[in-house]
Amino acid sequence: MKLKLLQVCNMIRKMMWLDSAICDQIQKCYDEGEFIDGSDSGTDNRDIKRNQQLDKNETAFALWEDAFWKAPFTTALRVRRTSGPMFVKYTAEDNGKYEFHNDAPIMGKKLRTDLAMITAINDPDEYEGGDLQIMFGSETYGYRPAKGECILFDPNLWHKVTPVTKGERRVCVTWIETLIQDAFIRELLYDYQDLEFYAMNAIDKSKWMHEVEPYTYFNQIRYKLIRQYSSTYTDD
C-alpha cells in the first residue's frame, strides 16, 4: 500500500488514516468516559488553555494503539515510539481554546518530540470555531481536519486552537519520536516519499530501461539515507 503524505508547506503535512468506524468507537468512550481538566498536561493557565482530557480509558487507548501501529505511515515516518494517545475535547460551554504555544522537546520517559500529530475524532461540521492554526514564518495556516484525518507538524512551530463557539471539538494528540533525529534529513525522506508516490504512478514501465524494476530502484536510494542517518539506540 502506497502512502501519500500531502505536504501543505515545509514541516506541515496532512493525511487521512483513521477509519471512521474506529472514530465512532472512540467517540463512545468520549460519551461514556470521565474527563479531567487539561491542566494535567502543559500549562494550567486557563487564559491560555481550556480543554479536557479523557481520563485513562483503556478501550480508547487499545483502539488507537492497534490502528496506529498497523498503519503504513508508521514505516513511512520511521516511527520509533510515541507518547501514546491523549484524547481531548474543546467545548463551547467552556470556551475551549489553546493560545499560541509550542511543545516541550522531551516528554515522559525521555521521548524526543520530533513530530506532533493531531487527529480529528469527530466531524468539523459538529462544531464552530476550534480551528488549528500553525504559524510558519510570517504565514499562519488554518486547518479543520475531517473525521479520521490528521495534521502532522514540527512541534517547534507556534500553534493554537481558536475558541470553540458552538458544539464540541474532539481530537487525539500524539507526539512521535522517529529514528531520524536530523529534521532536515527527516523532511528530505518525506519529500522523497512524496516523489516516489507520484513517480510510481506516472512511470510507463514499458519504457523503463534499468534492469532493476522501479520500486526496488527507488527503495535503494531511500535505504541509503536511512542507513546513514537513522538511530536505533535505546535508553530504556
| Helix/strand/coil for 28 | helix
Average pLDDT (9-34) is: 92
CA-closest candidate to residue 25, choices 129, 99, 121, 159: 121
> Does residue 222 surpass a pLDDT of 90?
no
Q: Name the average pLDDT for the chain.
A: 89
> Does residue 1 surpass a pLDDT of 50?
no
What's the pLDDT band for 194 if we cut at 50, 70, 90? confident
Pick the range with the lowest mean pLDDT from 13-22, 27-36, 52-61, 192-201: 192-201
> Does residue 185 surpass a pLDDT of 80?
yes
| Helix/strand/coil for 166 | strand
CA pair distance 217, 214, nearest whole angstrom: 5
Nearby residues of 202 by Cβ (< 8 Å), 6 or more positions away: none
| Helix/strand/coil for 177 | strand
Helix residue spans in the chain (DSSP H): 20-32, 58-70, 73-76, 183-202, 214-229
Model pTM above 0.75: yes
Using H for helix, E for strand and C for coil, what is the string for 66-110? HHHHHCCHHHHCCEEEECCCEEEEEECCCCCEEEEECCCCEECCC
Average pLDDT (123-142) is: 95
Determine phi and psi for 15, rounding to 5 degrees.
-160, 150
CA distances from 96 to 8, 93, 190 (A): 26, 8, 33
Is the distance from CB of 229 to CB of 182 less than 8 angstroms?
yes
User: Which grid coordinates belong to 233?
Assistant: 539506540
> Does residue 223 surpass a pLDDT of 50?
yes
In this predicted model, which residue has the larger pLDDT, 41 or 192?
A: 192
> Does residue 137 surpass a pLDDT of 80?
yes
Is the distance from CB of 88 to CB of 172 less than 8 angstroms?
yes
CA pair distance 173, 208, nearest whole angstrom: 43
Between helix 214-229 and helix 183-202 the angle, nearest 10°, is 180
Q: Using CB atoms within 10 Å of the CB of residue 115, give its burial: 0 to 12 exposed, 13 to 18 middle, 19+ buried.
A: buried
Max Cα–Cα distance, the chain, nearest Å: 63
Determine the distance from the C-alpha atom of residue 71 to the mean position of all C-alpha atoms in its chain, rounded to a whole number.
Answer: 12
